Amino acid sequence: METILGLSYAAWGVILAALAVVGTFAGVYYTRRQAKQVEKTERQAQAAQDTLAGSSPPPPPPANPALATHFVDRPDLISKIMQAISPGGSSLGPRTAIISSLRGMGGVGKTELAREVARGMKSQCPGGVAEVNLRGWDSKQPMEEEEALRSLCAQLDPDFDAKMHVEKLTPYWQRLTSGRRALVILDNLKDSGLINALRPADGITLVTSRTSNLVTGVPGIDVGVMEPAEAAALARQNCPQLSEADALALAKAVGHLPLAVEIAAQRLNDSGESVAALAERLADPGRAARVLKGDTDQEDVLLRVLEWSLGGLSDGQKRRWQALSLPPGDFGLWTVRALWLDKDPVDDLAALTRRNLVTRLEGDEPRWRLHDVLRRFGLAALAADEEREQALWQQLGLAAVARLREIDDRFESGGAAMVPALAELDQELPLLRAVQAWAARRIKDDAVAAEGAVTSHHQILMLRLKNDENLEWILGQLRAAEHRGEKAEIARAAGNLGLVYLERGDLDRATEMQEKGLTIAEELGDRAGMANDYGNLGLVYQERGDLDRAAEMHEKSLAIHEELGNRAGMARQSGNLGLVHQQRCDLDRAAEMQRKSAEIHEEMGNRPNLAIALYNLGNVLKDKGDWAGAAEHFRRSLALFEELGMPYVEQVRQALAEAEAHLSGGA
């Protein structure tokens, strides 16, 4: 007796959360033993369906990556890149170039070079241009494949559905980029395995990496420091009053490293200091010893230039710049306001951007980024003042909780607000993860960390957190609640944690957590909490195979929901009871419960849950031998699954096909 609710709670938690079903994780029954086979079947069916899909998404307007503020033509390098991306020009694969740095140094202009090539080829790429910073050298927050795919899809398709299930992302990406040449920049790539996963089906892939031998047997296009004339031209773009001789001298003083040239030239432009004084300052061994050591000699110079440039800022601006090194990846205005405690930080942001200390990215909403070498320098300064660093994390943690709540509220409002809310979450998730990691380390000795822990009971997070990650976040939620002594939050976290343990097959811990939540709910007189905990215990007993206890728990839960007039809970527990009765072969009772569940969901207008209930009722009728009734309910369920874009639609389609075959005498 296979049922669509044989999927893991995580899978259906994602679906229901995505379709604005609000509440705790309680509510749908599954069996883990069925889950793997169902998911495998769906993956195979979806892959076949995507391969044979008749039409690609409508042609998207080309996207624009954030182009360099200053760029001096580097013709030899551009020629090598163009040769690599010509048809058959790369041994790595179709139209792919790896732009690397021979000595692994940052600041040589790899990203700007890739963007310049993209700018020049934009008219030849009707599928659009997209860029993703994979944060490969950020040991704590490297970008994963799913996050990267979502970002790329969203850039190339303005109608991309951010609710899309992870299993569908790769086929969708391949279909989106098939037949229409797109250009994709994979910036800061460290894991060579991501190249095949992220490059477009048809188009051009530009990879930037600090590793010259990223792919065995495929040499990278090594980008070193600039030629003297190129570096001098870049210096004069940033400081127009420089003579040709001074520009050459400045470029030599900073080792012809593009980022160092930009920062130094802009600082000279503002200060009026002579190039000779700059060269003497940079060569001073005493000053050099006080600066963070770089990975290469060129980075040593870059960091000395950075220190000198920061010296031209006020103490407040310097501290503000250091604070911006805390967020991983790029960040928005709310992050700056939280770190600076400033409602209007635009002027100082503009000053830092003009100095080439911060890069502003293009887009409808302004966002900024620090180059990873500069970020490392800022983080070192913060690490030397632990009290200040923790204060900044506290400010950021509390702001992150408010930001997540704001995004989640928009998501739960449903309708057209859901996809933009998810897109915002995708932008902020690296920072939210960083805040969560900080809070988890500090909960026991930092009251603000306990208050600011990013908790995972926000429904929108269920669309993005992996199982192990979800476990860690909920454990943090439980520890924070225990630290604050908030019993209601302890009970909620324990119940959620119990369901995670259930998904992992740890039934003893699942029982322990659910009973803990139930005990607290009874102590507080929280009838709604008791109903949820009884229902969750029913799920545990179902997984144990103790159907009598499972039915007892679901009946207790149903009774309380009826007492409270909670129709969503009534529908949920009726459906769970129907599944238990079906397993006990009491098919009349099973059909009664599933009809009740479907009726309530339909009255409430909850179409996703109605689709599930109709499918489950169809399965019961099939077991009863009522193939006409089964076909009718499968047909209604399939229409909803297709309309709502719900995963596992192929399973419903197959069930309908089986029923229709029986009715036609073909089975």
The neighbouring-strand residues paired with 222 are: 100
Residue 86 or 348, more confident: 348
Q: What pLDDT digit, counting tens, does each position of 112-153 carry?
A: 888 888 888 888 888 999 999 888 877 677 888 998 999 999
pLDDT at 247 (0 to 100): 94
Q: Is the pLDDT of residue 56 over 50?
A: no
Q: What pLDDT digit, counting tens, does each position of 560-609 carry?
A: 999 999 998 999 999 999 999 999 999 999 999 999 999 999 998 888 88
In the chain, where the domains are located: 75-222, 228-311, 315-384
**What is the per-residue burial (b if ≥16 Cβ within 10 Å, else e) of 520-533?**
bbeeeebeebbbbb
Q: Is the pLDDT of residue 16 over 50?
A: no
Q: What pLDDT digit, counting tens, does each position of 355-373 carry?
A: 889 988 877 788 998 888 8
pLDDT at 449 (0 to 100): 62
pLDDT at 560 (0 to 100): 96
pLDDT at 89 (0 to 100): 62
Confidence of residue 280 (pLDDT cuts 50, 70, 90): confident
pTM score, two decimals? Answer: 0.68
Could you give the CA distance from residue 6 to residue 579 in angstroms, rounded to a whole number?
10
Could you give the CA distance from residue 183 to residue 178 in angstroms, rounded to a whole number?
12
Place of tokens 């207790």: 556
What is the enclosing helix (H) or strand (E) of 128? strand 128-133
pLDDT at 625 (0 to 100): 94
Q: What is the mean pLDDT of residues 635-663?
A: 88
N-term to C-term CA, the chain: 18
- Asked whether 321 and 381 are in contact (CB, 8 A), the reply is no
Residue 193 makes CB contacts below 8 A (sequence gap 6+) with none
Confidence of residue 666 (pLDDT cuts 50, 70, 90): low
Confidence of residue 53 (pLDDT cuts 50, 70, 90): very low
Confidence of residue 661 (pLDDT cuts 50, 70, 90): very high
pLDDT at 614 (0 to 100): 96
Assigned CATH for 315-384: 1.10.10.10
pLDDT at 453 (0 to 100): 56
Structurally, what CATH architecture does the domain formed by 75-222 represent?
3-Layer(aba) Sandwich (3.40)
Q: Is the pLDDT of residue 629 over 90?
A: yes
pLDDT at 131 (0 to 100): 92
Q: Is the pLDDT of residue 47 over 60?
A: no
Q: What is the mean pLDDT of residues 293-319?
A: 83
At 381, phi and psi to the nearest 5? -65, -40
Q: What pLDDT digit, counting tens, does each position of 31-45 carry?
A: 333 333 334 333 433
Q: What pLDDT digit, counting tens, does each position of 232-247 carry?
A: 999 999 999 999 999 9
Could you give the CA distance from residue 566 to residue 97 in angstroms, rounded to a whole number?
58
pLDDT at 139 (0 to 100): 67
Q: What pLDDT digit, counting tens, does each position of 403-431 carry?
A: 988 998 888 776 678 788 888 888 898 89
Percent of the chain with pLDDT over 70: 82
Q: Is the pLDDT of residue 78 over 80?
A: yes
Confidence of residue 50 (pLDDT cuts 50, 70, 90): very low
- Asked whether 501 and 25 are in contact (CB, 8 A), the reply is no
Q: Is the pLDDT of residue 446 over 90?
A: no
